[in-house]
Structure 1
């Protein structure tokens, strides 16, 4: 599906629906800072409708690119665990992982 320009009324409705919060990282956004992210990317069959739009900060929107929400969160989780392991050591991450899985 081809990307189309999102009109001001749609932008405002998305901003209100999401309480001006980036739906990816939770950062509060002004209306001017907000970008519109397709929850299901157009290349994966998403539609250009308000039901498929969410508020996103520019950084998150650019980083997410054409990943689905699930793919994006899986990628972030892998990056987080790798960086934690590199900075804190494998022993720490294994203990943390066991602790989290026990709950």
Structure 2
């Protein structure tokens, strides 16, 4: 059975619908949604990094990203007072904690 198309196919053969198709890759759900991470977000993120060129958690100055304090899905906005600067590793750790229910 093909996990993508949920159809049976002959044993020993691949799914005829999947042949020749590029492999699926995990895509971020947030960055692909229109209107969330637009030009305004890019400007706010760049301004936040310019004002604070280090991570709010660990203090490093490498691989900096913008992070919403209150996520957009919870009613946050793309404004400077709702953005903090985090390095990519702290931002990933924060997201994992947020998904587990530990909010900070």
**TM-score normalised according to structure 2 size:** 0.50
- How big is the shift at 1:50? 1.7
**Which of 1 and 2 has greater Rg?**
2
Aligned with 2:57: secondary structure? coil
State the 4+ residue runs in structure 1 displaced beyond 2 angstroms. Answer: 9-12
Any unmatched runs of 5+ in structure 1?
73-103
Provide the C-alpha distance between the structure 2 equivalents of 1:44 and 1:12, rounded to a whole number of angstroms: 23
- How big is the shift at 1:3? 2.3
- In the other structure, the counterpart of 2:81 is 51
Match of 2:66 among 23, 32, 36: 36
Provide the C-alpha distance between the structure 2 equivalents of 1:28 and 1:63, rounded to a whole number of angstroms: 17
Any unmatched runs of 5+ in structure 2?
1-34
Aligned with 1:71: secondary structure? coil
- How big is the shift at 1:24? 2.2
Match of 1:4 among 37, 41, 50: 37
Q: Which has the higher helix share?
A: 1
RMSD of aligned alpha carbons: 2.3
- In the other structure, the counterpart of 2:15 is none
Identify which of structures 1 and 2 has the higher relative contact order when contacts are C-alpha pairs closer than 8 Å and 6+ apart.
Answer: 1
Aligned with 1:65: secondary structure? helix
Aligned with 2:103: secondary structure? helix
